[in-house]
Chains A and B, each alone.
Chain A
């Protein structure tokens, strides 16, 4: 018995020592004071990252638009430091097909901005702030440092978990205590991994402030980006950009302080910069359109609506933009355009997450439609969708897709005769439509059960 207690005590001391070593060696990885030296582990990570770059391309995830890529590289290059790239870095700025508002940097210099984030941003300044933030992650080797720290902590976590399990097997009060420590402490250590990232994110923010001011950009637009990300378009989904970042108030605070502390830039925005500012909207219009479709497919209709509305606001004479706006209202179905205060409460968010976790998108719609508020929202969205489709046709009567959209809308509203008429107009205007078969099937199916018009949804 005494021997068991002695052994357990020694194991406990060893555990405490391991925790201290792991946390001490992994804290405060701020600015590199000594030149970065590649280790075998870093080279191995770099090899994986190069393959990841290729995989994105191969899987068709990279949004290939030469004009957009040129623009991204122009803005990206404007926030790079003087001199050539660091060792084993080749700067590349690209967009990834993904409706989540996010951007990330790989340690080899590949910086990706999701289509979801490009659709959300409003100006070149905001884009520059995002790219500058990501650039410093590469410059200061944050990925390598994070990975090294992660590996050290995982050793401690794995050993502690094994000790905990072994101690539980030994039985008795000592076994129970060590078992508890073994299960709780790994979680504590795991939490310090995300805490580690927040220091590096702050470093990235402050670098971005400097670069924006040096380039003659309005650094205050960085704060606008934080606020855009914060605004929750869909209560049931979180923005990845934020998961390892300091809280909004903290970020706004230190960024504003950094802006005020800097002297006014010696050069005012150049003519070329002023001209480039007008490029942001046309340069990102196509990618924003693609993102609206992706967001609808990903069951993020509120995000899709916000982006489509922005497209219309920027180009109010575009039939295509009104068509997309109509599509998003149709996709919104029984949801309001903005989350209600009830949805934004913690109870509401919990319910929304449960709905998404347990029901398919169609089932979620049915559940929402079963409530009076859902039915009212559906009616309103139907009205706005019809209005927008008709506006699209007013701007361009040859926009056949708008007829198809009206067909879908009327079919959902059980206005079968009108639905068939719109489907036929679509096929007449677009005889080589890629979805000809699908639409013809719908016509056949609706005609079989042609009923009098009704305002209620299926």
Chain B
């Protein structure tokens, strides 16, 4: 009996799904009424938190590293899929040297963060054309040739082995380490409509998850 229980636990720990992924496209993209060939990536927001027996702690250095990694990974993945990517439009230098751009970007990000709870809750509604950030998006003064903006948010938790064991026994111990949730949104740079949304959970290789999601972006 005990042996069967141990086997069952091991199987559950090893065979548990590593994550989920979903990609949702606006009807205009699916029907080719709208095409996206060139994009610009807005500043990525990523955070890493350590989850240990003594509670959650921020990991600022790791958050910064993940932000940089994801910014470069998403640009690479887009180019790999044949998209044109406008670089440096929202680099640190460009933003810090332009208070007006800084203000408009903050307002735009605020508008996105206000909409995000509904978007993350029912991403399937993207396929009904439900979500839009409004045509104020053009105030970001992105080049006329750019058709869409990409917004990427990621949240990673690094669970220590001790916490993993306390939370989930042997299975928890095996699954300890980093787990990252990401949310990728493509916004029409003229109308503000949300054209595409992808979300997923990845282990150590979140770049792979994002690349996989971008392959499903119609173009």
Contact = CB atoms under 8 A, between A and B. Distances in A.
Contact of B115 (A60, A151, A361): A361
B107 A51 contact: no
Contacts of A293: 103, 107
Contacts of A165: 169
A450 interface: no
Per DSSP, chain B at the interface is helix
A356 B64 CA distance: 31
A43 interface: no
Interface residues of B, number: 46
Majority SS of interface residues in chain A?
helix
Contacts of B57: 44, 48
Contact of A162 (B60, B132, B167): B167
Contacts of A442: 135
Contact of B190 (A64, A153, A441): A441
Contacts of A97: 103, 106
Given A434-B141, A435-B139, A297 B114 contact: yes
A368 B211 CA distance: 41
Contacts of A159: 53, 166
B123 interface: no
Interface string B55-88: 1111111011000000000000000000000000
B156 to A, nearest CB: 15
Contacts of A360: 115, 118, 130-131
Contact of A58 (B92, B141, B144, B166): B92
Counting chain A CB atoms within 10 Å of each CB, the highest count among B45, B57, B63 belongs to: B57
25 contacts: A48-B57, A51-B64, A60-B96, A60-B102, A64-B99, A97-B106, A153-B55, A158-B167, A159-B53, A293-B103, A297-B110, A298-B110, A298-B113, A299-B114, A358-B121, A361-B114, A361-B115, A362-B132, A434-B141, A435-B136, A437-B190, A438-B135, A438-B138, A438-B139, A442-B135
B64 A359 contact: no
Interface in A51-76: 51-52, 55, 58-61, 64
Contacts of A150: 55
B54 interface: yes
A281 interface: no
Interface of A: 44, 47-48, 51-52, 55, 58-61, 64, 97, 99, 150-155, 158-159, 161-162, 165, 290, 293-294, 297-299, 357-362, 434-435, 437-438, 441-442
B13 interface: no
A438 B115 contact: no
Contact of B54 (A151, A298, A359): A151
Contacts of A59: 43, 45
A437 B138 contact: yes
Contacts of A52: 58, 60
A438 B189 CA distance: 11
A297 B138 contact: no
Given A158-B166, A162-B166, A360-B130, A298 B114 contact: yes
Among A99, A162, A293, A362: residue with most chain B CB under 10 A: A162
Contact of B53 (A158, A359, A441): A158
B17 interface: no
A106 to B, nearest CB: 12
A162 to B, nearest CB: 4
Given A154-B55, A161-B166, A297 B61 contact: no
Contacts of B63: 55
Question: Which 6 residue pairs spanning A and B have beta carbons closest together?
Answer: A154-B55, A51-B60, A151-B54, A162-B166, A438-B138, A60-B102
Nearest to B43: A59
A290 B106 CA distance: 11
A48 B166 contact: no
A333 B167 CA distance: 48
A58 B144 CA distance: 27
Interface string B4-36: 000000000000000000000000000000000
Nearest to A163: B166
B105 interface: yes
B95 interface: yes
Nearest to B115: A360
Nearest to B55: A154
Contacts of A154: 53-56
A154 B111 CA distance: 35
Interface in B108-146: 108, 110-111, 113-115, 117-118, 121, 130-132, 135-136, 138-139, 141, 144
